[in-house]
Amino acid sequence: MGGFASSQLRNKRGIRFAVVACTLLVSFSAQAQKFIGTRLEYLPEAYNLDLLEVEVVAESEDWVSFEQLVPNLGMGEGVEWMRLTLDPMTENGKLIEIQNAGIDDLTCFMVCDGKIIASYPGGIMNKGAEGHQFGTYPSFPVPLVECNKLHALFRMQSNKPMIVPLRITGPRRVLEDAHERDVLFALYAGVMVVMLLYNLFLFLSIGDRSYLEYVLFIFAVGGAQLALNGYGFVLGTDHWPWLNLRLTHFFGVFSGLTTILFVQNFLRLSRYVPWLHKLLNGYFLLYLVALVLALLGRLEWSYQLINFCAAAIFFCIPGAIITIRKGYEPAKYFLLAFTVFIFAVFVFVLKDSGVIPYNAWTFYALPLGSAIEVVVLSLALASRINQLKRESVHAREEQLRVSQLNEQMVREQNSVLEERVAKRTAALESANSNIQNTLDELQSAQQQLVQSEKLASIGQLTAGIAHELNNPINFVASSAQSLRRDFEDLSKVIDKLKAMDPLSPNLNQEMGQLKEMFGALDIEFTQREIEELLNGIEDGTKRTSEIVKGLRIFSRMDGDNFTMAQINELIESTLIVLRSNLKDNAVVESDMGVDLPLVSCQPGRLNQVFMNIITNAAQSMDESDLAVEERKVQIKSRKVDSIGQSWIEVRVKDRGAGMSESVKAQIFDPFFTTKAVGEGTGLGLSIVMGILSDHNAEVEVETEEGVGTEFIIRFPL
Amino acid sequence: MINVLYLDDELHNLTAFRAAFRRDFHVHVTTEPTEAVRILREQPIEVIISDQKMPTLSGVEFFELIMPDFPGPIRMLLTGHADIDAVIDAINKGQIYKYIAKPWNESELRAMVNEASMLFHERKAVSDQGEVLLHRMQEARAMALRIERATSQASSLDASQVAEINKQAVEINRLLAD
């Protein structure tokens, strides 16, 4: 903010500075210049003379006088000759001055009565030679000789218009004027340098691109004015004649390019006046062509093209007006600056064409105009920055307002939302506690179900085992009683035998009685029977102890601990327990692998798994048309090796109804059952799955409807 | 001696049964249902005892099977603990007289067989009497037929013939009173 205030202050100072400069200019150049173009003569036909001929030509009758006070000899490759007849009496010791620093090559020959007595080189090609002893304009001393006829012959060649504002005056006056000009151009240069540095500083501190373009623009415009007026030496180009010759062109191109860039950016032409933006792009290209021509040495064409392109500046006036109409304030300053400059250009051109007099005002119109332009443009830039600032402040205020509005709305919304959230939270909390209750109920129900499933299986088991035990107990007990009776029969015989006396005379009779007794008691049959009964008892006790052993293995319900166990043993104990249940509806064919390694497992829980799967397999054939002998449950255990892993694989296969894909997909889901209501909890296989996943076992089910189902369980080793 | 047939797939049970009851009953045992049917056909079996749980068919099924051909013998079912439902069903349908739980109590079983035998004979007696009655009724019907025929001829009869008929009627009445 402070920066802007001080920059505006600087601009005001700039204006004051310009006003002082103008005052000086007016006071210095109050006196009108006295050019003597009408005393100059030219040759209507082109001559290319050598020096000997010069002396001849000097006296020629072909010379024709100019009509203008400031003649214009045009430009190009051709050499032009010009003659000035001097009055040796009054004008010797004075200086002939041509106030044009832009002539490339200029030589002045002093011819006294047909003899060349002196020649002075001048113009851009001959900087620093005798023709430049008094300032930036070529000037030549009139020699102090006594002649009847004294002529000054000028040989000139230039790629820029050779305008010849020529005067004869005393050296003091020339020096004074040169000094005055130097001061003025120094002033001008000072203004330009100050503006340049000032805007460079602004560019560096603000970083706005238009300041950089403006700096380049100032440099180009200022440089062009200096070069045009023979002050190119301040840029240090005097030692490079090649560059010196093209300095005007380069600066012309450079100022054109920078002007276009500056105008385009400053007036925001791409936004406000797109057609002008494109047009200026075209001019930009033409300037580049002019630059190339200058580089190639086509200086005359280049100069013409640059002049043509200068017309582009006129388009800036309508451009600025359109932009102002679209509400872009800074364009007003811009319009003012360019109007001033164009006015100055008009004055300059009209002066050259002799429409308006050649005086200090018109002479300095261009530098003055450009200085004013630069200063006003600086104001325009400041205004532009202010405009941008205003826009950004406005935008920020708008943003602030909108954000405050938003904040207000958000606050209101927030309170509404908070209320809603509170309500919702309360609702959710109550729902949550409901859900928690339901969940608790479900969990306890599930636990009860799991428990009842367990109890059901235990009940099933108990019934099975009771039946299995009943048979042997039945015949063992019964056989024991029968044995006692048989023994009583045998005892009778033995008692009879004991009572018999071998020495008794009645022995034969007693033997007969004994035989009778043998027959009556059917002792032979009794003997056979005793043997059978004993076999039965043996078999019964063996079976009973087997069952008990199986039961012990099966009922390792402590077996929630992992221990190493033989899978085959578990399956066999399960089969013993299930034998009676299976007997009337299926035949079990087991094919157990030999020498299987032990598996780390929970034996009690695995028994539950096998019991469930084998019972399912048997029950799957309940509705089957197969004869009981064909209702096979095939159980197979093997050790299998796959890549880097060994498994114990247990397969349980039935010939039941099989399952559809949809049933198969659900069999491990809790409460899923295909049995009638009340016959199964639907938890069996889901419990199986839980147990097997605790064992990291894989379960695979292969099933085909009408063919059967095979459960494949793999326990990792 | 009472003829008893015992069917069980458990050979040791058969042995034990025969050893226990051979002194009291005429015991026939077999493990095969087809053999049991053969025995039924050849022997005057009064009581059939069958195990319920057998591999090819259950005891109840066996009884259902033989009922049409051999309705007479009293049927008793020998069961383990698990088959109570089947037994209840069987009793309600009147297929069996008693069920015996394993392990059996010898004296109880003996008493049951004796009771069953008595029942068999009572039923047999009743059905025999029924047959006699049936026979007599048939005779009576034949007689009534004769009387009717005689009555139709009676219109053309004289006194001596009437007296003869009366005598026959008295005879018939006497017979019917028996």
Are both B108 and B135 inside the same structural domain? no
Choose one of A522, A552, A582: the last residue of a domain: A552
pTM over 0.80? The answer is no
Q: Using CB atoms and an 8 Å cut-off, which of residues 29-88 of chain B contact chain A? A: 53-56, 58, 80-82
pLDDT in tens, A574-633: 888 787 777 777 888 989 988 889 888 888 788 888 888 998 888 888 877 888 778 889
Contact B13, B29 (CB under 8 A): no
State the nearest Cα–Cα gap between A667 and chain B, in angstroms. 28
Query: Do the chains contact at B13 and A475, CB–CB below 8 Å?
Result: yes
Cβ(A258)–Cβ(A213) under 8 Å? yes
Q: Which residue of B has its CA nearest to A536?
A: B12
Long-range contacts of A514-517, Cβ-Cβ distance < 8 Å, separation of 24 or more? A517/A492, A517/A493
CB pair distance less than 8 Å for B15 and A580: no
The answer to whether residues B39 and B112 belong to one domain is yes
Residues A104 and A218 occupy one common structural domain? no
Q: What residues in A contact B56, CB-CB < 8 Å?
A: 628
Nearest beta carbon to residue A478 from set B20, B53, B81: B20
Same domain, residue pair A261 and A285: yes
pLDDT at A260 over 90: no
**pLDDT recorded at residue A51:** 61
Cβ-based contacts of B103 with chain A (< 8 Å): 470, 473-474, 477-478
- Which CATH number is B110's domain given? 3.40.50.2300
Nearest CA in chain B to A463: B82
Q: Are B85 and B95 found together in one domain? A: yes
B100 closest CA partner among B92, B111, B57, B63: B111
- Judge if B123 and B165 occupy the same domain: no
pLDDT of res. B39: 94
Q: Are residues B160 and B110 both part of a single domain?
A: no
Predicted complex ipTM: 0.73
Instruction: Reply yes or no on whether the pLDDT at A333 is more than 90.
Output: no
Whole-angstrom distance, CA of residue A16 vs CA of residue A633: 118
Query: A434: domain range?
Result: 394-552
CA gap A188, A195 in Å, rounded = 11
Contact A152, A96 (CB under 8 A): yes
Is A481 in Cβ contact with B80 (below 8 Å)? no
Calculate how close chain A gets to B10, using CA atoms only, in Å.
8
Q: Does B90 lie in the same domain as B30? A: yes
Cβ atoms < 10 Å from Cβ of A536: 26
Answer yes or no: is A175 within a domain.
no
Q: Which residues of chain B neighbour A584 with C-beta distances below 8 Å?
A: 53-55, 58
Nearest in space to A11 (alpha carbons), one of A214, A208, A267 = A214
Pairing of strands A105-112, B25-30: unpaired
Confidence (pLDDT) at B47? 94
Contacts of A539 in chain B (CB under 8 A): 12
Range of the domain at B97: 2-128
Pairing of strands A95-98, A139-141: antiparallel
Q: How far apart are CA A14 and CA A27, in angstroms?
A: 20
Query: CA B126 to CA B78: how far, in whole Å?
Result: 28
**Of A446-450, A611-615, A708-712, the least confident:** A446-450
Q: Are strands B2-7 and B47-51 parallel, antiparallel or unpaired?
A: parallel
Helix segments in A560-641, DSSP class H: 567-583, 603-619
Residues B92 and B136 in one domain: no
The answer on B143 and B70 residing in a single domain is no
One-letter amino acid of B75? R
- Looking at the structure, tell me whether residues B107 and B24 fall in a common domain: yes
Of A2, A154, A7, A179, whose CA–CA distance to A79 is shortest?
A: A154
Report pLDDT for A1: 36
Q: A355 lies in a domain? A: no
Measured between CA atoms, how close is B14 to chain A, in angstroms? 8
CB contact under 8 A, B20 and A583: no
Q: Give residue-wise pLDDT tens across range A22-59.
A: 444 444 443 445 778 788 888 776 566 666 677 777 77
User: Are A223 and A261 contained in the same domain?
Assistant: yes
Nearest to B82 among A467, A477, A478 (CB): A467
Handedness of CA A509, A515, A520, A526 (dihedral sign): positive
The answer to whether residues A101 and A228 touch, using CB atoms and an 8 Å cutoff, is: yes
Question: In chain B, which residues have their Cβ closer than 8 Å to the Cβ of A467?
Answer: 53, 80-82
Q: Answer whether residue A396 shows pLDDT above 60.
A: yes
DSSP string, A379-432: HHHHHHHHHHHHHHHHHHHHHHHHHHHHHHHHHHHHHHHHHHHHHHHHHHHHHH
CA dist B168 and B155 (Å) reads 17
CB pairs < 8 Å spanning A and B:
80
Task: Using alpha carbons, list the distances in angstroms from residue B65 to A265, A656, B78, B100.
Answer: 116, 27, 17, 20
More confident residue, B108 or B163: B108
Strand arrangement, sheet containing A645-653: A587-592, A632-642, A645-653, A708-716, A698-704
Closest CA to A75 of A299, A357, A262: A299
